[in-house]
Amino acid sequence: MEKLIFEKSVVGRKAYTLPKAKLEEYSTRKLLPEKYHRKRELNLPELSEVEVARHFVKLSKLNYCIEDNVYPLGSCTMKYNPKVNEKIASFDGFANLHPHLDDEDCQGALQLMYELGEALKKITGFTGITLQPASGSQGELTGLLLIRAYHLDRGDTKRRKILIPDSAHGTNPASSTIAGFEVVTIKSDTDGRVNLDELKKYCDETTAGFMLTNPNTCGLFEKNILEISKTIHDCGGLMYMDGANLNALLGVVYPVDMGFDCMHFNLHKTFSTPHGGGGPGSGPVCVNEKLEPYLPIPQITFDGNKYHLNYDLPKSIGKLHAFFGNFLVFVRAYAYILINGTEGLKKVSQTSIVNANYLLSKLKEAYHQPFKEYCMHEFLITGDNQKKFGVTTKDIAKRILDFGFYAPTIYFPLIVHEAMLVEPTETETKERLDDFASILLQIAKEAETNPEILLTAPHNTPVRRVDDARAARFVNVNYFKGETKG
Ligand SMILES: Cc1ncc(COP(=O)(O)O)c(C=O)c1O
């Protein structure tokens, strides 16, 4: 087990020495009142510079990242993020801009945000946009607040219900509740799609809207989308699209043509910026004319000559984020859009669908496939075939780690027993997909011949199997002299 940095400490060792402060009278000790002075020495580790460097390099090697291997987390779109986007985002003119600059002094940044907004509108067919939300879930909250403002503005105060399919991501009901709505869960059909008869039962004058992910979290396109939208619109509700799965639709389908009134993007998924532990997110929201008056302020406008920040929107829901959102994510996403162009983005989606179907075709004999059809950019298989040998989906996922691959999303969506949601993404090559498939096929055989090896997996990771519930609830990041305290 790697030693903690405090355990490597040797009294008197130093990485470097700082020069003595020249302006003694400005030292914090002099400026701060006595009662705020530190009474004892800080308990910091003492190491040489090379030891510090080695420590952090070792720690970084314990992390898993897309540069290690396939990262097939369904619904998360863990695609490779081109390094050129990182380079562009690190340009001084982007990375060191101060958000309090006058419009006049940050025309380039405003232009970038304006043009990114225009590109996202073009990709989806919508007419209005805000880039502010910092994540998909904050985008959901924004869209729902817009829907609420729309109904209230028309004096339609009875619309308190948001309908959501039972296959939805957990953030959908959570953001609806935060936006003040009552959530009604719509049961899915046996084919993994929205059950129209169920939906119709709950459509009435209290329905504010329907939140739908398309393609849905079972990796399937909602074929009845036009009828679904008509049903919701006929009862006066609005259609919200959770755009987390937009990776399958770029250049192929306009969300606006499916009858959606509003949607969020996950720039950190579809438009390829590092996410998870790797960086901040961004969840812009696009809307049609009905919702435009309520968009957050400021809106970025262009008068043909200069870019401006417009705060004069009397019906706006206000601000969702300090300043304008996560600006450097915009830079990466816009670079990605420009580099790919219209044809390139279409190819992104087509390749993501081909890759998913290729992998599915290799696995569907060994693993149970709950919905027997072609998939979109991700697919569902389950550990049901392996249950009779005493192993679960979780055991399969843990065993995958032994081969240096990340596991798919497991036990989601909730409507599928022992689910594994696999999203290879378009950035994986055929060779890597073949490697991943052969590992999963080997594990299916092991389940039959040597289930113990799955039950005790992972064997090769720095930390063996943990109690997930405890690990999530009682994270301990403190160090106290030789012992750890929770
Ligand atoms: C289908 C779906 N909707 C919404 C979200 C929420 O996005 P974020 O994690 O950016 O808040 C996710 C995230 O994984 C998702 O997969």
Q: Where are the domains of the chain?
A: 1-62, 84-339, 345-473
- Number of alpha helices (DSSP H) and beta strands (DSSP E) in the chain: 16, 12
Nearest atom (ligand 1) to Cα of 137: 11
**Percent with pLDDT over 70 in the chain:** 97
pLDDT higher than threshold 60 for residue 356: yes
Q: What pLDDT, in 10s, does the model give residues 184-223? A: 999 999 999 999 999 999 999 999 999 999 999 999 999 9
Q: Which of 75, 241, 376 to mutate to test the pocket of ligand 1 (most atoms within 8 A of CB)?
A: 75
Dihedral sign from CA coordinates of 438, 444, 447, 452: positive
Q: Which residue has the tokens 């006595």?
A: 34
CB of 75 shorter than 6 A to ligand 1: yes
**Dihedral (C-alpha) 19, 20, 22, 24: value to the nearest 10 degrees?**
150
How confident is the model at residue 199, as a pLDDT? 98
| Residues 244 and 113: beta-carbon distance below 8 Å | no
Q: What architecture (CATH level 2) is domain 345-473? A: Alpha-Beta Complex (3.90)
Mean pLDDT of the chain, nearest integer: 94
Q: What pLDDT, in 10s, does the model give residues 38-49? A: 888 888 889 999
Report in angstroms the alpha-carbon separations of 86 from 112, 204, 321.
16, 48, 23
**Whether the model pTM is above 0.85:** yes
| Structure token pair of residue 94 | 């982007």
Mean pLDDT of 86-94: 96
Categorize the per-residue pLDDT at 485 as very low, low, confident or very high, splitting at 50, 70 and 90. Answer: very low
Torsion angles phi and psi, residue 286, rounded to 5: -105, 145
How confident is the model at residue 278, as a pLDDT? 59
pLDDT higher than threshold 80 for residue 109: yes
CB of 423 shorter than 6 A to ligand 1: no
pLDDT higher than threshold 90 for residue 129: yes
From CA 78, how far away is CA 349, in angstroms rounded? 14
H or E segment and range at residue 264:
strand 262-265
Q: What spacing in Å lies between the alpha carbon of 150 and ligand 1's midpoint?
A: 24
DSSP label of 370: S
Answer yes or no: CATH 3.30.350.10 is held by domain 84-339. Answer: no
| Residues 383 and 448: beta-carbon distance below 8 Å | no
How confident is the model at residue 468, as a pLDDT? 84
| Structure token pair of residue 385 | 């075939």
pLDDT higher than threshold 50 for residue 383: yes
From CA 335, how far away is CA 329, in angstroms rounded? 10
pLDDT higher than threshold 60 for residue 104: yes
From CA 434, how far away is CA 309, in angstroms rounded? 50
The DSSP-derived string for 151-186 is HHHTT-TT--EEEEETTS-THHHHHHHHTTPEEEEE
Sequence letter at residue 475:
V
CB of 171 shorter than 6 A to ligand 1: yes
Mean pLDDT of 228-243: 98
Q: What spacing in Å lies between the alpha carbon of 266 and ligand 1's midpoint?
A: 7
From CA 411, how far away is CA 383, in angstroms rounded? 10
Strand arrangement of the beta sheet that strand 409-410 belongs to: 379-382, 419-422, 409-410
How confident is the model at residue 202, as a pLDDT? 97
From CA 107, how far away is CA 102, in angstroms rounded? 9
CB of 261 shorter than 6 A to ligand 1: no
Q: What spacing in Å lies between the alpha carbon of 171 and ligand 1's midpoint?
A: 7
Q: Which residue has the tokens 């162009």?
A: 341
How confident is the model at residue 238, as a pLDDT? 98
pLDDT higher than threshold 70 for residue 481: no
How confident is the model at residue 84, as a pLDDT? 96
How confident is the model at residue 486, as a pLDDT? 37
pLDDT higher than threshold 90 for residue 239: yes
| Residues 250 and 348: beta-carbon distance below 8 Å | yes
| Residues 109 and 94: beta-carbon distance below 8 Å | yes
Nearest atom (ligand 1) to Cα of 217: 1
From CA 396, how far away is CA 119, in angstroms rounded? 41
Q: What pLDDT, in 10s, does the model give residues 262-317? A: 999 999 999 988 887 657 899 999 999 999 999 999 999 999 999 999 999 999 99
Torsion angles phi and psi, residue 144, rounded to 5: -70, -35
| Structure token pair of residue 58 | 């070792």
Q: Which residue has the tokens 């700082």?
A: 18
Strand arrangement of the beta sheet that strand 161-165 belongs to: 128-130, 285-287, 262-265, 238-243, 207-213, 161-165, 182-186
Closest by CA position to 337, among listed 132, 129, 124: 124
How confident is the model at residue 18, as a pLDDT? 76
Provide the 3-class DSSP secondary structure of residue 172. Answer: helix
pLDDT higher than threshold 50 for residue 245: yes
pLDDT higher than threshold 80 for residue 182: yes
